[in-house]
Structure 1
């Protein structure tokens, strides 16, 4: 088994353990129902499953995928497998983005990527579909930069639906442009291919949305309701840089408002970002651009002028409403920070056991033989 394969397997197993620790009782038999996470026994296909019931296609195609899997597996098991897959995919994907011959630094990146406020807060409001796309982001980075298997890498986000695909597009497109600008002539179709892949995998929710008789509607009031908010003593921007700042007050884990914990989370994230920017990974420019754009989108609602501009944009075209839940777009910041922490770990010396020299070994063996002969 190659070193990369061993590192990926180790990270996948680590992600599985972290998933078990994070989910805990949710892995027991039965369903876990929390806000947006609604799994039911014996689901059936309906117009609502495919976004044809008149409402927004928010659960397309995630509901259809769950319903299909529930035809061959118990629906309770489907829910638990999907939730664990988030940790396994995310941890292994982030680990493989760290250029290290040692497994340790890779695991540092993988662990941070799936064990942070972003994942915790999104889990607490049941947004498993978004987190499925989040888990696939490292694989999208690898695929876009290598120019291979982009469709396979986008698949988790495609299952997640419009929110997961929007976050993925925000990350993939700057990467594709950066790759195109740094590459040779053979890479010039990179951005075009990425756009095509994103568009094709978005069709399951784009088509029902376009076919709605009443058209696409957006409520500007939602801009204020879903704007990022402070959940640390450092204000909204500080909370976003800590990978928190979700709009839902009840999705913040207890203790997040304490100063020591908030300071630690902010310092860890900023340290990771600093080492990522100092690093020499080939995709640094593209992922840095995605992180800056994501943080910028997430920060739009911090000020009243920003919220006014956002409300105007939603009134102009309802499609801009997809950016209302702005905090979700700090996902590339989380990935960049995770990779940076992995790069930092590569500078930590690993103690090794001193080996006895061959000369000493030969001398000992000679002395032992002489003693034995004398006996």
Structure 2
């Protein structure tokens, strides 16, 4: 039933990519602002990242390599639909691991797909960033499970803990999801940061860190070989700063996973106060759940780390949109090679999604007596 809901929600939210499955085989392209996916693609210098900044590496190279067999619009559509479905299921599993019952798991899955970040970034054409963002709850779940050595999301450590085969499966699953995130440099950063946070930033984080370094080579090597091409204009800091929304300002917009720099990429419903306020209300409700769990000493380590990451993901872009923040970021863009990756600070607010999904899943019953305490404590 939960899988059916995730599939339905994926089809509804990502319906352009459902159509893209057919349109791609008809020789049609996917075009919307920054997203330009033609019916065929060539493996040229731009796709390899050797002609200018490697912003679309390795996604363009992957699409070009598959182009003779599968039309690029079809590849993109399959990746987006798979990421949405897997991310929603991953959020449900992550919420269940931290004590959410079935209704809460439905809510967690819904939040992953039905949020301003997905809508705004898709309208801007950032399909690969959206794919990575939707997968973050799954990344957190896999990294948490790998670090803890658990067989599933609800039970205690199994008798096979530490066996090479079990570790191998968990490691392979995590690396596979990170590889999808790595289609874009931003996605890889999002995935590795989430995985390391869920794992604990200790020796257990070596797997996602090592995988991240290897997956970054397609764009990291060209960038290092042409450092002068990776400097950016300082004016980009102000141009791509997080945008304030009616009645809630910049912090409120970011707390609700909105605030993209381009007002033209914002759905009409977000232009009114009530829609923006709804995101703030959800964020405040999530904070209330955290307060309840902290007061009852039921906030486990993995969830606590994800909550801290969520707070940082909201506060830092908000500060970067202030005068001092713009000046600091502008200086970095002009002097530090590759700092252009950070100029669009709002895109990193999606790091708050795993924690928001879990806390939303706990809203129906954040504390369920001894049973709830046992489930939450087991997650640590």
Q: Tell me if both proteins adopt one fold, taking TM over 0.5 as the criterion.
A: yes
Mean Cα deviation higher: 335-344 or 93-102? 93-102
Find the counterpart in structure 2 of residue 293 from structure 1. 312
- Residue 303 of structure 1 and its aligned partner are, at CA, apart by 1.3
Q: Deviations over 1:78-109 (max 9, x none)?
A: 23223322321221111111125743321210
Tell me the CA shift for residue 346 of structure 1.
4.4
| Aligned position for 2:140 | 141
Correspondent of 1:228 among 220, 224, 242: 242
User: Shift of residue 61 of structure 1?
Assistant: 0.6
Query: 1:291-315, CA deviations, whole angstroms, 9 ceiling, x for partnerless residues?
Result: 1222233113321111111122233
State whether structure 2 residue 231 is matched by structure 1 residue 237.
no
The aligned counterpart of 1:13 is: 7
Residue in structure 1 matching 2:278, options 260, 264, 268: 264
CA distance, structure 2, for counterparts of residue 325 and residue 76 of structure 1 = 26
Residue pair 2:141, 2:198 contacting (<8 A) in 1 also: no
**Cα deviations by residue, 1:194-227 (Å, 9 ceiling, x for unpaired):** 3212111111110111122745312211111111
Shift of 1:122: 0.2
Q: Equivalents in 2 of 1:253, 1:226: separation in Å?
A: 18
Q: Report the equivalent of 1:332.
A: 351
Give, in whole Å, the separation in 2 of the partners of 1:64 and 1:276.
43
2:81 pairs with 60, 64, 84, which one? 84
The Cα of 1:38 is off from its aligned counterpart by 0.8
2:57 to 48, 53, 60: 60
Name whichever of 220-229 and 78-87 sits farther off.
78-87
Please give the root-mean-square deviation of Cα atoms over the aligned residues, in Å.
2.5
Aligned length: 332
Q: For 1:2-151, what aligned pairs fall within 5 Å after superposition? A: 7=2, 9-10=3-4, 12-21=6-15, 29=23, 30-53=28-51, 55-99=52-96, 102-147=101-146, 148-149=170-171, 150-151=174-175
The equivalent residue for 2:178 is 154
Q: CA deviation at 1:262?
A: 2.1
Where structure 2 has 5 or more consecutive residues not aligned to the other structure, the ranges are 147-169, 294-298, 369-380
Kept after mapping to 1: 8 A contact 2:11/2:18: no
Query: Which residue does 1:372 correspond to in 2?
Result: none
The 1:278/1:171 distance shift into structure 2, 3 A limit, reads farther
Rounded Cα–Cα distance in structure 2 between residues aligned with 1:142 and 1:163:
20
Q: Aligned partners of 1:252 and 1:212: how far apart in 2?
A: 35
CA contact (8 A) 1:20 1:27 kept: no
2:289 aligns with 275
Cα distance, 1:25 vs. partner?
Answer: 6.1
Distance in 1, matches of 2:18 and 2:135, equals 23
Q: CA deviation at 1:282?
A: 4.7
Separation (CA, whole Å) in 2 of partners of 1:296 and 1:316 = 24
Partner of 1:120: helix, strand, or coil?
helix
In the alignment, which residue of structure 1 is the partner of 2:296?
none
In 2, distance between residues paired with 1:274 and 1:27?
Answer: 42
- Structure 1 residues 145 and 348 mapped into 2: Cα distance closer, same or farther (>3 Å)? closer
Residue in structure 2 matched with residue 168 of structure 1 by the alignment: 191
Counterparts of 1:43 and 1:22 in 2: how far apart (Å)? 20
Q: Would the aligned equivalents of 2:34 and 2:124 in 1 still touch at CA under 8 Å?
A: yes
- Taking structure 2 as the reference length, what is the TM-score of the superposition? 0.79
2:229 and 2:312 map into 1 onto residues whose CA distance is: 29
Aligned residues of 1:291 and 1:333 also touching (Cα < 8 A): yes
Partner SS for 1:283 = helix
Q: Quick check: 1:224–1:301 contact (8 Å CA) kept in 2?
A: no
Instruction: Tell me what 1:185 maps to.
Output: none
**In the alignment, is the contact (CA less than 8 A) between 2:333 and 2:343 conserved in 1?**
no
Of 324-333 and 285-294, deviating more is: 285-294
- Distance of aligned partners of 1:109 and 1:317 in 2 relative to their CA distance in 1, 3 Å threshold: same
Given that 2:251 and 2:315 are in contact with CA atoms closer than 8 Å, whether structure 1 keeps it comes out as no
Asked whether the equivalents of residues 84 and 135 of structure 2 are also in contact (C-alpha less than 8 Å), the reply is: no
